[in-house]
């Protein structure tokens, strides 16, 4: 696991320069987790898309201001909050997601964000620690390192499929319903995606503003929550979450979906 001391990282001035006109900036939160893998995956997209954006690693609040979209990678959500505890980073991250002033004091609207695994937990409005006998949820205790960022109206259960030893790979099934260009794009991006689940959470409930994008059936879950498939990807108009790690596969469909729908809004 990559862990960086945020206090010792200098912001490269070339990274904060305004890109050429029309080029969007995608930030990848580079505090801890698989941020390099996300960056590499974006660079594998078709050239006509790559020409329209650049990717920077985000470790300082000034770098958040430079981004039109952000990825919060997998890793460990509590560790991320510990590392980000300086320079009011978490407060500015919440302002990035919900809307509010940046490091420069300028108020901005909510911007697109994609959270994978731990990033999904950070963006969830409600977090559940475990599912007990009879399907009873055990609410998460308040973290002494701060509350989640929130923003997406979902309840997410940490380590739903088990600990590190229970990590697995499985193809997900697209849950997108309906007709039209948007529904078809969702199905093309998510159906039969070869997902990697590492101490993965799962989405237990979703509000009316949330679209459920994909489910997975785990062979060891034969009864109770998840027996007929559990939600592992969802979105609102500004936020995308996946409880698995698309960046650890050779399939760039979901990265392309994020760029086309959330960043370039094609």
Longest dimension (CA), the chain: 56
Q: Contact 73/34 with Cβ under 8 angstroms?
A: yes
Residue written as tokens 């801890």?
32
Q: Are 2 and 82 in contact (CB under 8 A)?
A: no
Residue with tokens 């900036």, as numbered in its chain: 25
Segment holding 100, helix H or strand E: strand 100-101
Active-site pick, 39, 63, 212, 247 = 247
Contact by Cβ (8 Å): 203, 182: no
Helices (H), 164-219: 181-190
Selecting among 218, 245, 252, 255, the annotated active-site residue is 245
- The answer to whether residue 117 is catalytic is yes
Task: Write down the catalytic residue from 67, 117, 120, 157.
Answer: 117
Look at residues 18, 66, 23 and name the one whose alpha carbon lies nearest to residue 264.
23
Query: Of how many residues is the chain composed?
Result: 266
Q: Is 247 a catalytic residue?
A: yes
Beta-bridge partners for 234 = 212, 241
Active site residues: 117, 245, 247
């Amino acid at each position: 696991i990559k862990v960086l001391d945020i206090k010792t990282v200098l912001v490269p001035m070339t990274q904060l320069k305004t890109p050429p006109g029309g080029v969007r900036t995608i930030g990848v939160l580079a505090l801890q987790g698989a941020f390099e893998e996300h960056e590499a995956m974006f660079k594998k997209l078709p050239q006509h898309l790559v020409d329209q954006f650049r990717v920077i690693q985000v470790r300082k609040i000034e770098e958040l201001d430079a981004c039109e979209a952000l990825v919060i990678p997998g890793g460990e959500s509590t560790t991320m909050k510990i590392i980000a505890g300086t320079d009011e980073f978490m407060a500015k991250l919440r302002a990035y997601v919900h809307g509010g002033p940046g490091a420069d004091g300028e108020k901005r609207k909510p911007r697109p964000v994609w959270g994978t695994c731990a990033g999904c937990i950070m963006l969830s409005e409600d977090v559940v620690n475990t599912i007990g006998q009879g399907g009873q949820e055990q609410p998460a205790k308040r973290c002494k390192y701060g509350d989640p960022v929130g923003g997406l109206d979902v309840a997410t259960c940490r380590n739903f499929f088990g600990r590190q030893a229970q990590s697995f790979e499985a193809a997900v099934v697209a849950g997108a319903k309906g007709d039209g260009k948007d529904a078809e794009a969702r199905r093309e991006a998510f159906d039969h995606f070869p997902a990697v689940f590492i101490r993965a959470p799962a989405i237990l409930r979703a509000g009316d503003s949330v679209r459920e994008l994909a489910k997975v059936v785990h062979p060891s879950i034969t009864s109770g929550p998840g027996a007929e498939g559990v939600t592992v990807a969802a979105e609102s108009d500004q936020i995308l979450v996946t409880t698995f790690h698309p960046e650890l596969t050779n399939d760039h469909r979901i990265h392309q979906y994020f760029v086309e729908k959330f960043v370039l809004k094609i």
